[in-house]
Amino acid sequence: MTNIISYGLGLLLGATITLILGIYMDVYPAKMVYDYLRNKDLQTLSAPKGDIPDFSIVPPAVNVFDRIDADWNLLAPDQGKIPFHDFKGKVLFLSRWATWCAPCIAEMPEIARLKEQLDSDEFVIMLYTDEQEYLVRSFKNEHNVPIYISDGNLPEVLHARSLPQSMVVDKNGVVRYVHSGVAAWGDEAVVDYLKMIASE
């Protein structure tokens, strides 16, 4: 009996140490558990604004349409399934998002400000997630930023090591900018940058 208790305590201690180390080392699953336990009611969060993104930092050239199968779909709010390849020809602002992610929810007002300033015919502003549909549908989306749900497995090119992670994709599908963490997406500099890309 003593051995069983010792074994159980050892497992508990090991799991606790793993979780703590994971949080401090920024390991994604540990951060996910930590954020969920710490922020069970995230929908009333008010956000830090974040810094203005530094668009001079250019990522390696990757074309998302080359990396995503033509038959991969997103479940769009009130629209049913949309093939991701239908967005080709528009400038995309894509942000990896989750209902349990406090920073993701915190920056929603900034993304809403960005969306208000851009013509929807040239731009697509979206949050995307691979969570269960019922979790996303039950989320109180106070800022009316479109949340798209992956229909099946999320393509590797859209994975993120930490959340939120946002990327800007040009009309040809080339990733032009990647940012991890909260940012001042509603700033005039961001709007000007996206309009510049759309004019190319």
- DSSP code for 162: S
Question: What would the mean pLDDT of 180-188 be, rounded to a whole number?
Answer: 94
Domain positions in the chain are 2-38, 64-198
**Residues 20-71: tens digit of each pLDDT:** 544 444 444 544 544 444 444 444 344 456 788 999 998 998 999 999 999 9
**Residues 129-183: tens digit of each pLDDT:** 999 999 998 998 989 899 999 999 999 999 998 899 999 999 999 999 999 999 9
Q: For position 50, what pLDDT does the model report? A: 76
Nearest CA to 19 out of 6, 40, 38 is that of 38
Q: For position 191, what pLDDT does the model report? A: 97
Quick one: CA torsion of 139, 143, 144, 146, rounded to 10 degrees?
-70
- DSSP code for 63: B
Helix orientation angle between 188-198 and 108-116, rounded to the nearest 10 degrees = 50
pLDDT at 85 over 50: yes
Question: What would the mean pLDDT of 60-86 be, rounded to a whole number?
Answer: 93
- Measured CA to CA, the distance from residue 150 to residue 132 in angstroms comes to 9
- Measured CA to CA, the distance from residue 37 to residue 34 in angstroms comes to 5
Q: Using alpha carbons only, give the angle 63, 66, 70 rounded to the nearest 5 degrees.
A: 130
- Measured CA to CA, the distance from residue 4 to residue 66 in angstroms comes to 53
Q: For position 125, what pLDDT does the model report? A: 96
Residue 197 in contact with residue 170, Cβ under 8 Å?
yes
CB atoms within 10 A of CB 159: 11
The amino acid sitting at 102 is A
The matching CATH number, chosen from 3.40.600.10, 3.40.50.300, 3.40.30.10, 3.90.226.10, for 64-198 is 3.40.30.10
Kindly report the length of the chain. 200
Q: Residues near 46 by Cβ (< 8 Å), separated by ≥ 6?
A: 106
Token representation of residue 27: 């390991």
